Amino acid sequence: MNPMKQLLRRPIHTLFAILLLSAACAFLCISSGIFLSVQESAKMIEDTYVTLAVPNPDAFEFSSSSKTTDAWDALLSAAENEAAVKAVYQHAFISAMSPELSPLLSVQEEMHYDPSLDKPSDYAAFVVRVSDAAQTPSGGWDVSADIEQIVLLHPGYTVRSRLRFSYWNASGGADMDPPETGKTYLVYGRFVDDDLLLRQRLAEQVRCPLEEVDLSKISTEGAAALKKELLSRGFAEGLGDIAAEYVQEKTGRTTTLSPDELEMVDTASLFPQVLIDSETDRPFITVTCIDQPLDTFLCREENALWAGILRNAVSSQHGFPVIGTDRADTLYAFCQQTAYLSQGRVFSAAEYLSGEKVCILSERLAIQNGLHIGDSISLQFYGAGDPFQLEPSRQSNPFAQDYYPELADEADRGQFEIVGFYRQTDSWEYSLGQWTPNTILVPKAACPTRASSPHRTLFLSVVLKNGMSQRFLDSIRQKGLPENAFQILDSGYERIADSLENSVKGAGRYFFVSIVFWLAALIIYLFFFVSKQKEDVARMRSLGASSGEVRRYLFFFASVPAFLAVLIGMGLALAGMEAAVQYICSAGSRLDTALSELYHSSSATAMIDVSVRKSLICLISGLQAGAHLAFFLLFSTCMVKAKRIYVVNLS
Amino acid sequence: MAKIQTIDLNFSYRAKHQTIHAVKDVNLLLEPGLMQVIIGKSGSGKSTLLSLLASLQTPEQGMILVDDMDLQKMDADQYRRKRAAVIFQAYNLFPLLTVQENIIYPLLLNKIPKRTAETQAEKVLEQVGMDASFLKRFPATLSGGEQQRVAIARALANQTDIVLADEPTGNLDTKNTERITGLLSSMAHNQGCCVVVVTHDLSVAANADRVFAMDGGTLSGVAP
């Protein structure tokens, strides 16, 4: 008996059987592919969506450090003992100096210029000639001067022709020499570009792009006419502050300038520092009259202090804030998606654990310094403590401390390999939990142990189990903490939670149905197609065919169409799976189905990739073929062994 | 030359709530070179007896000796393949095989070359009164009588020494009944086969060398 001949002599039956099994095979492949895709997507979504609870600064009293510490400890204790919490991460802060790296400045993006963001690269030193000086009520002096020599200035700043600075007697007395007009002074301090601040203010007032502000359009005559007109209308108060008028040429919008603002044109401010002379242990202010060329001045032994100040300032200009973390993706900005990894990778679990010398930089810092993934940078850690010690309410943009050799330990120097770049939606955003693009991320274990964990929103991440935020907040409330003690960031998880659950359930249901359909098809195939052979089996046996011969016949008779069906089903699934996925993805916005929502929300990126899906289909098909063969072997054995087969089928 | 002997043969069918004792203490001797007929009304157990003789079923009690060897200890497949040909009332031709393929199937089981088997098929078909034009036809295109003759031809082709026929003439007209009866008789007499025919057709019984009568599962008489 030739099973192929038998099959070909009943083509309709055979074709129907093949089609039935092909459909079942394709359905099972597609549904299992979708099921596993959904499972994988759900798992990736669970991993991707980090539900974060961060301390709400509004709920704290930052003016009192003891209160803050108590509140912080209460928060930590509440978070650490809560079932809804997955993990608590306290990130560390430290400064690092990297001589080969040039930091970015907000001044380079004029519209975002904020002098407080450019610390400590804003230290500058000039040789100036005093043009005007006025004593302040406290006994200090406000000085206007012309810049004669730039001693130290970050190249990101624009050089102005005039400099304003104030200074006073650092020892507290009023007995200080007044600045002498026409004499030269060496001044050192924090640099502020007044001209740019003025243009920022004008652009905002007349509502135009910063580059369209033209300070040559400031008119003092216009201001006089305006003042006269306002007086005639009876507006008397505050008119003394109007020194000039600015008219935007394109739009015709105008604004007024105060006398102080008028002095900001082509001018910068410098804020001298009060330092301690280590030899005399006396404070001094960083303004000094020099009556000789600068080089000569600095070479003199009694001026070694100044030479040291300038050396340290150069190092400070290469100081970077460093955040040490045990899990970078739980940092506030990453969770809020104001920062994201644009290239490379985050740290691995092993790197976190061992404190591997690896780092993640901002993409912009890397571009400015010509760095690539895999390059190394040297970092000399220095300092420690709360970067916002002097600004208790500040919750974002930590900056590096000023560099002094005594703050650094040679043992804390190392080469760090760049493994990733992050990109920020707004590099100079001044809102809660943000950091500047100069910030370098490293594994916490790679930081020296003296690195601090400041009590700030940015430095604490309480990672909640997804979907458990309300339970967490309820528990916090029950523990007597303020209702708003924590702010929850779930990256939109709550919005998709139901869809996610429904999708997993839905895909599970489809998968179950497909298994039932496959089993039903197999049973139909066996009982309505293969078992029709029982009469032939009985005939074969009655004519002396051995059980082995009959089993072989039956097995091949059942297997050939099933094998063809698996091949066809696999082809259908390979074509159908892609179409199904494409449909689900593209229909995401139109279909109100849980499944499409899931794919839409994850932008199909979380789906297991095409090659894996194809392999999966081949695997499922292979399993089906294997299951078919096992079934057929069992079935044919049972049929051959049926004792009454002759009587039932031959009588 | 095969001799078959049954000793205290018993067989029952077990249904859900009852047991039907189809064969009860049957003792008979079936000799080679004779055409032996078992007659009896429907339900008398004659077909069951035949299926026991063909080793299609296993006796509950008693034994069947074939040439003094216990049938149950013999290889049943080999017995049916090489020694006993069965002709069924319902023909039991393979519906998807041609007449030729049906006839040569048992020959191929016995490893006879296909060409030889085909020649043999043509010869035996002629013996049952059918010409070569039937060889490529399928059973469904044949009449009941033609199908029965093909079934007989299949049994003849294998040249076994035992032929067990269950109502072989049940669907035949008088002329063909005579032809088939003659054929079976000639197999017994000329080839020395042990031919056992189960029938209720008395005209077949009239041509038998020996007739056994069955009633209610027991052997009720033997003639002569």
At the fourth CATH level, the homologous superfamily of domain B33-44+76-223 is: P-loop containing nucleotide triphosphate hydrolases (3.40.50.300)
Q: In this complex, do B77 and A544 lie within 8 Å of one another by their Cβ atoms? A: yes
Does B57 sit within 8 Å of A10, measured CB to CB?
Answer: no
For residue A532, the distance in angstroms to the closest alpha carbon of chain B comes to 12
In the block, tokens 């200080």 appear at A176
For chain A, the average pLDDT equals 83
CA distance A387 to A98: 18
A120 upstream amide cis, omega within 30 of 0? yes
Question: What are the DSSP calls for chain B, one per residue?
Answer: ---EEEEEEEEEEE-SS-EEEEEEEEEEEE-TT-EEEEE--TTSSHHHHHHHHTTSS--SEEEEEETTEEGGGS-HHHIIIIIEEEE-TT----TTS-HHHHHHHHHHHTT--HHHHHHHHHHHHHHTT--GGGTT--GGGS-HHHHHHHHHHHHHHTT-SEEEEESTTTT--HHHHHHHHHHHHHHHHHH--EEEEEES-HHHHHT-SEEEEEETTEEEEEE-
**pLDDT for B41 beyond 60:** yes
Domain boundaries, chain A: 3-48+495-650, 51-86+464-491, 92-103+318-452, 106-314
Mean of pLDDT values over A105-123: 88
In total, chain A counts a number of residues equal to 651
Total Cβ atoms within 10 A of residue A280: 9
pTM comes to 0.60
Q: Do A651 and B78 touch (CB under 8 A)?
A: no
Taking an 8 Å cut-off on Cβ atoms, the answer to whether B81 and A544 are in contact is: yes
Instruction: Say how far apart CA A336 and CA B80 lie, in whole Å.
Output: 83
pLDDT for the residue numbered A648: 47
3-state secondary structure (DSSP) of residue A256: strand
* The pLDDT value given to residue A442: 96
Between A17-31, A495-509, B144-158, B159-173, the lowest mean confidence (pLDDT) is in: A495-509
Contact call for residues A324 and A92 (beta carbons, < 8 A): yes
Mean pLDDT of B157-179: 85
**Cis peptide before A259, with omega less than 30 degrees from 0?**
no
Task: Yes or no: say if B162 and B188 are a contact pair by the CB < 8 Å rule.
Answer: no
What whole-number distance in Å separates Cα of residue A200 and Cα of residue A211?
10
Specify the pLDDT at position A609. 59
Chain B residue with CA closest to A537: the answer is B94
At A592 the pLDDT is: 44
**B57 with A646: Cβ contact below 8 A:** yes
Rounded to 5°, the CA angle A28-A30-A32 comes to: 65
Nearest to B52 by CA among B31, B22, B83, B78: B22
Is B92's Cβ below 8 Å from some Cβ in A? yes
What are A200-240's pLDDT values in tens digits?
Answer: 999 988 888 888 888 888 887 766 676 677 777 766 555 55
| Nearest-CA distance A563 → chain B (Å) | 22
pLDDT at B223 over 80: no
- Which of A12, A543, A649 is best to mutate for the B interface (most B CBs within 10 A)? A543
- Report the residue from A544, A545, A650 with minimal CB separation from B92: A650
* B218 close to A (CB below 8 A): no
Q: Please say whether the beta carbons of A502 and A20 come within 8 A.
A: no
Helix (H) or strand (E) holding A127: strand A123-135
Residue A31 · residue A575 · CB < 8 Å: no
Q: Spell out the residues 6+ positions from residue A506 whose beta carbon is closer than 8 angstroms to its own.
A: A38, A593, A594, A595
Domain boundaries, chain B: 33-44+76-223
Terminal-residue alpha carbon distance, chain B: 22
A651 and B57: CB-CB below 8 Å? no
For residue A283, the SS3 value is strand
- Does the pLDDT value for residue A385 go beyond 80? no
d(CA B136, CA A230): 121
Distance CA A71, CA A386 (A): 17
Interchain contact, A544 vs B105, CB within 8 Å: no
> A543–B81: do the CB atoms touch at under 8 Å?
yes
pLDDT over 80 at B189, yes or no = yes
Q: Provide the shortest C-alpha distance from residue A540 to chain B (in Å).
A: 9
Q: Give the phi and the psi of residue A343 in degrees, each rounded to 5.
A: -150, 155
Task: Determine, for residues A542 and B88 on separate chains, whether the beta-carbon distance falls below 8 Å.
Answer: yes
- Give CA–CA dist B117/B99, Å, rounded: 13
Element (H, E) at A370: none
The token pair at B218 is: 């027991």
Interface test with A, best of B81, B92, B161 (most A CBs within 10 A): B92
